[in-house]
Structure 1
């Protein structure tokens, strides 16, 4: 029974592992086979070479490191040999990678053709297995290359490299392939910026493809038929389209990163600005409220002493000034009232003297009272009362003096 249970458990584990393996996802790599040899660099050194032998030497010189291909995975950069086929005015230069004994893989071809007007056209065509269909560059050289003069001479013999597997020239020393990003940075130094490299998607020569088929080598394609560019990228035609998509995705990611950084920085800055503004608003609000409150409270308050001395001094000065202004106003008002009272008293005394003089000259008490009543009507009620009292007292005194005079005059008459 136990053996059956163990057998069933092993069977279930085996089926589950198979299901997991069937669901394994294969992720595309950032690098590609075509990234290891830049055809613009090939076109650049082709224009600087004296002949095809010099061109092969430049391709494999460890000082330049034009190639970074390692198709046989031996941790060494493959040697690139050069062969040529010629027909009439058309020269097809084939670049092949040496993988093993009598095993070669075509990497690119250079179509050189001269028309009836002695105009030379050059096209560097990438192999469709590595670069995709119709991946072609047309270099426009700033100076006419010297290598052209070696092609159209009498008794010209096509170039065919003598180097093969484990039989390489003395200048060649194999080096280890470097990462793609380092290769790209190094290869830019080898590209002549004075030239122009125009991308096209068609071949100008109709003879070149026919000549190429006679010397074609595809040892790597036979070993790995599923590693062609069409199998690696189903929706991309060639390396040029791949570069365009890479640039678009790179720009998109860059814009997304810039947008995210700007949004985060904006959030931080806005938060700081709002924080500072709220803080300043709170401080200004507290300061204004404290100033208003302190202006109502006396200067001996502890809260005012705890706050700034400057505000207290300003407030005390304002209070002193207000008190001085109030005292001056009160003094002015008191002086004005005293002056008004003095003027009123003066006018009353003058009127009294005038009325007494009129009474003595006229000698009629009734006329005096009537004149005083008329002048008193123009004055205030208080002055009328005081004047009437004074007049009555004066009239009584005058009456008494008149009586005494009359009595004296009567007594004097009797005596006489």
Structure 2
């Protein structure tokens, strides 16, 4: 009886641990903080600096190991420009030739010194229409008819004008040249130090601070950015798609599976 009870408790613990982990990791993209990417873009002076910050372990934005080599993937940053719209593409090389897009940041100038942006997770890693945007809280004093000279202070969330972010100002400067990451495949910058991925529960808590000033968006505000990006989208042949999750396997096996579809 004692042995049966011990076995039951062990199985229960394993099941609960698996359930807890599964509940938190609904998609592969949960190991990359979209909110964190926006936080780092806001503090960056250029896209070159932005790429460097994303690939710094201390900033708690990237925890992806898509090729299962035991180290977190290096994220490249590329800028696509068309008229007054920029599309910043965040990607990872799974091997020398296989590139997988992770997310895109669409930026559009909508007026004189006014710009908006949203970040959208790639559907290979995130659920469809996973869009995040920065927001700020504003307070408005509204008159209320509840007695003489009474007032009501209301708080609401407003879309952020990102024009005054240093990196955005630079991107719309007349002399700006689109940033394209010079790093490809297994070629990494000298400053980069690789690290092992954290358990998702640990990474989720480390990235919590980034979620304070961002919110999910139900509307794609920078729709033109999507149209510019889609013809240039990069998807790795190493990725196998299932109804439950995204799976990464070796390239030879993936090509056989994809050939049967």
**TM-score between the two structures when normalised by the length of structure 2:** 0.71
Within a 5 Å distance, the mapping from 1:96-111 to structure 2 comes to 96-111=91-106
CA distance in 2: counterparts of 1:173 and 1:65, whole angstroms: 14
Return the offset for 1:87: 0.7
Equivalent residue for 1:213? 230
Q: Is residue 88 from structure 1 mapped to residue 108 from structure 2 by the alignment?
A: no
Q: Is residue 129 from structure 1 mapped to residue 144 from structure 2 by the alignment?
A: no
Return the offset for 1:214: 3.4
Q: Is residue 46 from structure 1 mapped to residue 63 from structure 2 by the alignment?
A: no
CA distance in 2: counterparts of 1:86 and 1:97, whole angstroms: 20
Equivalent residue for 2:244? 232
Q: Is residue 166 from structure 1 mapped to residue 161 from structure 2 by the alignment?
A: no
Equivalent residue for 2:201? 181
SS state of the match for residue 45, structure 1? helix
Coordinate RMSD, CA, aligned? 2.1
Equivalent residue for 2:165? 145
Q: What CA deviation, in whole Å up to 9, does each residue of 1:314-361 have, x standing for no partner? A: xxxxxxxxxxxxxxxxxxxxxxxxxxxxxxxxxxxxxxxxxxxxxxxx
Q: What CA deviation, in whole Å up to 9, does each residue of 1:132-174 have, x standing for no partner? A: 1111111136884211210111132111000112211111111
Q: What CA deviation, in whole Å up to 9, does each residue of 1:92-117 have, x standing for no partner? A: 00000121102110000001111134
SS state of the match for residue 227, structure 2? helix
Contact persistence 1:44–1:192 (CA under 8 A): no
Return the offset for 1:48: 0.8
Q: Which runs of 4+ in 1 moved over 3 A?
A: 141-144
Equivalent residue for 1:33? 28
Larger radius of gyration: 1
Contact persistence 2:34–2:132 (CA under 8 A): yes
Q: What CA deviation, in whole Å up to 9, does each residue of 1:283-321 have, x standing for no partner? A: xxxxxxxxxxxxxxxxxxxxxxxxxxxxxxxxxxxxxxx
Q: Which runs of 5+ in 2 are unaligned?
A: 1-17, 137-159, 246-261
Contact persistence 1:97–1:104 (CA under 8 A): yes
SS state of the match for residue 129, structure 1? coil
SS state of the match for residue 130, structure 1? coil
Call closer, same or farther: CA 1:192–1:37 in 2, change over 3 Å.
closer
Contact persistence 1:61–1:171 (CA under 8 A): no
Return the offset for 1:192: 7.4
**TM-score between the two structures when normalised by the length of structure 1:** 0.45
Contact persistence 2:65–2:197 (CA under 8 A): yes
Relative contact order, CA 8 A, sep 6+: which one is greater?
Answer: 2
CA distance in 2: counterparts of 1:169 and 1:151, whole angstroms: 23
Picking from 196, 217, 221, the partner of 1:204 is 221
- How many residue pairs get aligned? The number is 199
1 or 2, which has the higher helix percentage?
1
Contact persistence 1:62–1:172 (CA under 8 A): no
SS state of the match for residue 110, structure 1? strand
CA distance in 2: counterparts of 1:149 and 1:218, whole angstroms: 30
Return the offset for 1:176: 0.5
Q: Which runs of 5+ in 1 are unaligned?
A: 1-26, 234-416
